[in-house]
Amino acid sequence: MDFRSAEAERHYEDVVAHASGLVVGMDFDGTLAPIVEDPAAATILPGTGDLLVDLAESVSALAVITGRPARQVLALGGLEEVGVAVGQHGRVLHVLGQYGNERWSSVDRRILSPQPPRGLSTFESRLPGLLRRYDAEGAYVEDKGLAVGIHTRRLDDPRGAFDRLLDPVRGLAEELGLQVEPGRLVIEVRAPGTDKGAAVRRLVEQVGAQAFCFVGDDLGDVAAFRAVRDLREQGAVAGLLVCAGSPEERALVDLADVVVDGPDGVQEFLRRLAADTGVRAG
């Protein structure tokens, strides 16, 4: 666990001091769950669920904020069970799927979801032709209901295919009024108008957070990092930005207060935060 500056250590102390009003927001893939070739086979790192339950004792709320559909991340993370245990501490686990478009909480345990965006089904019908034109026919296309993910990880040249596809996918998406979200060897196409930053702001308001810690690993988390940083600069919350570092993505490292080593490092961070805030609460 690497604090990037003396100021970063002060931010950590500050969120610990505000533990009773602290929301801990976490991305899923690459943060709580190791990245695997088949996204359907990703699972939360063993032990992380118990750590979340421990942490819930001494903070205000927990939130998993992900690009995945809420239903999927609830299953892959065992998060319904985590939510029950968190509820026994009188705390709430929020799951915000599809960049905050879908909302679930351990209190009401129902997924609230909008209609799929206009243009998405046209995009899906034109996608196979586009993949053929850019020699990426074998790309794995994930239908997420409110979004489509185009994964190049299983192709012979994953990075080359990603680079070839990004501009044409963006062109088609924009033509149809959709938004593109590039990630680690995945290009997501989804409804415009929300991102993880908007999800963070809504949560801060909803729970009246005094502090917010966000843990993420990928480009889709940049908006959440910026939201926490801006709220902190305005004096609205104490804030801490934690990057689950990977060799694949460096964009978050420069914004982060703390860099840890992937999902294992996230566990170490959560354990320390639970211990430090637990001392405070006790």
Cα separation, 26 vs 42, in Å, equals 16
Q: How many residues bind Mg ion (CB under 5 A)?
A: 5
Residue 97 CB neighbours (<10 A): 29
**Which residue of 218, 231, 232, 239 would you call a contact of Mg ion, by CB under 5 A?**
218
Distance, in Å, from the CA atom of 122 to the CA atom of 34, rounded to the nearest integer, reads 33
Segment contacting Mg ion (CB under 5 A): 20-28, 56-64, 171-179, 187-195? 20-28
User: Is 263 a residue that touches Mg ion (CB under 5 A)?
Assistant: no
Is 188 an interacting residue with respect to Mg ion (CB under 5 A)? Answer: no
- Rounded to 10 deg, the angle between the 120-133 and 158-175 helix axes is 140
| Binding to Mg ion in span 27-46, by CB under 5 A | 27, 29-30
Instruction: Give burial (CB, 10 Å; 0-12/13-18/19+) of 27.
Output: buried
Residue 2: how many other CB atoms lie within 10 Å: 14
According to DSSP, residue 237 is labeled S
The stretch among 48-56, 171-179, 188-196, 209-217 that binds Mg ion (CB under 5 A) is 209-217
Beta-bridge partner residues of 246:
249
Compute the least distance from the CB of residue 257 to Mg ion, in Å: 18
Q: Is 16 or 259 the residue whose CB approaches Mg ion more closely?
A: 259
Write down the least CB distance from residue 218 to Mg ion, Å: 4
Cβ at position 181, least distance to Mg ion in Å: 11
Site membership for Mg ion, residue 217 (CB under 5 A): yes
Q: Which two tokens mark 188? A: 């997501």
**Contact residues: Mg ion, CB under 5 A:** 27, 29-30, 217-218
